[in-house]
Amino acid sequence: MKAYGNFRERSPTGFVHNSRNSHSIGADLSGNFMQDEHAQRIIQIVLEWAKALPTICAVALVGSHARGTARADSDIDLIVLTTDPQRFRADTAWLRAIDWNVIAARPAEWQDEDYGGLWSRRMWLEPNRHEVEIGFALPSWAEVKPIDPGTQRVITDGCRALHDPEGLLTRLCAAMNGGPS
């Protein structure tokens, strides 16, 4: 385990993904898909950080929070499409750039996980141990011709576009719904 200031890094682990037939698209956090106010605040501060960076092309909320089925112990899963995903893996300064003080928490430890074209940092926040996973991928992760099987599994499990100025996630979700790509 490597230490980075107040952060600790674990070695990568495997991943099992449950596929569901639910997907949607949304522009903001005001819909009823958010059940937990604390989770909504976490998502908002990560989104504000991401929108301020010119290398970030899109942000999506995926999984149970996007489907509206999250429980109190559900993790928060976000996908960040960026022109340089490996930069976020190599440099941990971005973790400190997120305004965690707004929620009176901070990442205490994390582990990185690899899923082919996407890697993620799963973090546990202190003091409440809330789990947040942020996946980083190139914009090509959202290509629709053809749709990558890994991307399809993630999107099928629930997706809400939170920041999508280029329409990458909108096109992907439309293609998943059988619409034009």
If DSSP codes are grouped into helix, strand and coil, which group holds residue 119? strand
Q: For residues 11 and 110, is the Cβ–Cβ distance under 8 A?
A: no
Indicate if the pLDDT at residue 11 is higher than 60: no
Q: What is the pLDDT of residues 133-151, one digit of tens each?
A: 999 999 999 999 899 988 9
Indicate if the pLDDT at residue 44 is higher than 80: yes
Report in angstroms the alpha-carbon separations of 56 from 49, 116, 138, 176: 10, 19, 9, 23
In this prediction, residue 178 carries a pLDDT of 74
72: confidence class by pLDDT, cuts 50, 70, 90: confident
In this prediction, residue 36 carries a pLDDT of 76
Domain coordinates in residue numbering, the chain: 18-176
In this prediction, residue 104 carries a pLDDT of 92
Rounded-to-integer distance, Cα 103 and Cα 120, Å: 22
In this prediction, residue 7 carries a pLDDT of 35
Q: What is the pLDDT of residues 156-175, one digit of tens each?
A: 989 999 999 999 999 998 88
In this prediction, residue 181 carries a pLDDT of 53
Indicate if the pLDDT at residue 49 is higher than 50: yes
Instruction: State which of 10-14, 45-49, 115-119 shows the largest mean pLDDT.
Output: 45-49
User: Model pTM?
Assistant: 0.80
Beta strands across the sheet bearing 56-62: 2-4, 7-10, 106-114, 118-126, 131-137, 76-82, 56-62, 159-163
Residues in the chain: 181
Indicate if the pLDDT at residue 91 is higher than 60: yes
The b/e string for 33-54 (b: 16+ C-beta within 10 A; e otherwise) is bbebeebeebbbbbbebbeeee
CA of residue 80 relative to chain centroid, distance:
6
Q: Which CATH class is domain 18-176?
A: alpha beta
In this prediction, residue 13 carries a pLDDT of 28
Report in angstroms the alpha-carbon separations of 30 from 2, 27, 40, 117: 38, 9, 9, 30
Candidates 19, 10, 7, 169; CA nearest to 81 is 169
Candidates 7, 121, 151, 106; CA nearest to 172 is 151
Rounded-to-integer distance, Cα 126 and Cα 106, Å: 5
DSSP codes joined into one string, 19-48: --S-----SSS-STT---HHHHHHHHHHHH
In this prediction, residue 96 carries a pLDDT of 93
In this prediction, residue 35 carries a pLDDT of 53
If DSSP codes are grouped into helix, strand and coil, which group holds residue 123? strand
What is the rounded average pLDDT of the residues 51-72?
94
